A and B are shown apart, each in its own frame.
Chain A
Amino acid sequence: MKLSSWEALKQYREDTKDEVSLLNPESTKIILAVGEATCGIAAGSKKIAAVLQEESKKMGLDNVEIIPTGCYGCCYAEPMVEVRIPGQAPVHYGYVNEEAAKKIIAEHIVKGIIVDKNVLRVEVTST
């Protein structure tokens, strides 16, 4: 499909708003954004993404979507996972190993309990 005007671009933005992986208060979809830049992949994020996938399946979660993102800058803390639950502030996790990944599903996603040990606080003014 070719967009043929600026209006069409704006319309496209509107039309695809439910398909994007950003935090969307109107959606029921939970997004797990896994850092899959070179730094994340080198630290094992592909494996972590697979574990997250597997665990959510096990738990019967059908509203969880795992997406790759680029580098959030915290290469020291890779693999990183950002949890985006509609209606809640997003949470960044760092140093996520398999065990932590399982906990993120079991505790945070299923029970709503944040896995404190792996929470990463990064002060960023976004534009």
Chain B
Amino acid sequence: MINIKINNIETEVPEDSTILEAARGLGIHIPTLCHLDLHDIKMVNKVGTCRVCMVEVEGRRNLLPACSTSVVPNMIVQTNTPKAVRARRTIVELLLSNHPRDCLSCERNLNCELQSLAHEMGIREIHYKGPRLHSEKDTSSYSIIRNSEKCVLCRRCETMCNEVQTVGVYSAIHRGFETVIGTAFDTPMLDTACTFCGQCVSVCPTAALTETDDTRNVWEAIQDPNKFVIAQTAPAVRVALGEAFGMPVGTRVTGKMVAALRRMGFDKVMDTDFAADLTIMEEASELIHRIQHGGKLPMLTSCCPAWVKFIEHQFPELLDIPSSCKSPHEMFGALAKTYLAEKLGVAPEKIVVVSIMPCLAKKFEARREELSSGGAISDVDYVVSTRELGRMIREAGISFNMLPDEDFDDLMGESTGASVIFGTTGGVIEAAIRTAAAWLDKDNPAPTIDFTQLRGSEGIREAVVEVAGLKLNIAIANGLGNARKLLTDIRDGKANYHAIEIMACPMGCVGGGGQPYHGNNIEVLKQRAVSIYAEDKDKPIRRSHENPQIQKIYADYLGEPYGEKAHELLHTHYHVRNII
């Protein structure tokens, strides 16, 4: 511990503290912009680029950035001297002088860190005037839009992409005033190794990185009398959507969400959770098949499209280990345009499947050619993120908080607790083990449901699960940097697992790139995960294979799990992709 003095208050702080941390401990607020420290997921952006948090330190000629200056014994800091305040205001004015300032029509209006900063500092006039940087938007990808004109060069996206996710798409390019964060050789995002996980969007303080907006397309489909529009909602959406309407973090809004979608005009409101149960039927069968028939191990889950794209680019030599299962919403789409079309008597080409997802990578995934029947009819037509759904509900004039709880529509609306936990890290593998355990351990009247050893928030977790005398080595990774570690071990023959679950986003889908902004607070994700497990607990049925609608669809339509029909509709293959 060392003693320092901030604004004449003496304090004792740990040696590795920054001035910013020490000040916060004293309740002294120092404005920041580029700084971001998400301890739990090891995302630390301590680059000192914005120069907003400048403070005066006795004995130093220049001002120092509080976010990235470590304390030293007997340091005397003043955070609000006229010089520091003037410098801070000047910096923010400079940033604003090079910003479009179209706040009223900006995606991040009222939810923008630059806007908040200007507000907090009471900026009323921008003294430094001059031309702004002009840059073309990159709208090439189906997931993420880059608008460099709104970029403040905080470098959070770069840190997230390069250091946390280890994808390395972004870096600063060009010089001086022309400097922007871009891709190598200014390659359009679509042609890069970007996985579209959207974590860069999650940490972007402004609207420089946003999701591709699909809401117009969805409204048009809903308003088209010739279309039959079906909504399906991912597990993690129901524990986060409430935040968009000011509800406490973790509020479960499943019933209100269904009611809202119905009021928006969707013809059917169904559940991706149903398809998650279906995924377990297929994936658990595939796992047992691989174990019993000497197939390739470990088997990797394939629900996460960002993760799938990651392995296609980064480990093309390992493409035979992921499960061949489509992701749940794609399974849903495939069945909606076959099974449902038949049951409801609607022509498949009239059906529009809209996936409500916590995810931006799903937008890209929906455009994959192999995820369609015969390349003609896409399994899924549109993907909107949790954030976009929040905007659509507002736009429709629906008072979300006052809505009654409603139930999903039949046929593909029923789900189990196993499918709910797909929304958080470890959930997919736990759901698979629940079913596999029940199947393998046929004589056990009460096989285990809660495999708590598979839960948690650490980036990489390992557990041994004993099922019917079989010891299964399980590994779980969330975050692509952690996935890379596991995959490297597998490639180098150092790992000995049966099954591995990988989710691209920190803490899984609750931390998805399409979720309401967590406001730089990782506790938000943890709270959502708590709600996921609570939703699981409250479900009357908690194993996928016990879902009556699942049993019905196999009996009526699909036949055997992992069978021929299932293969045709529910499984896929992967492509080798390059890194430019």
Instruction: Please determine if A and B sit in direct contact within the complex, based on CB atoms under 8 angstroms apart.
Output: no
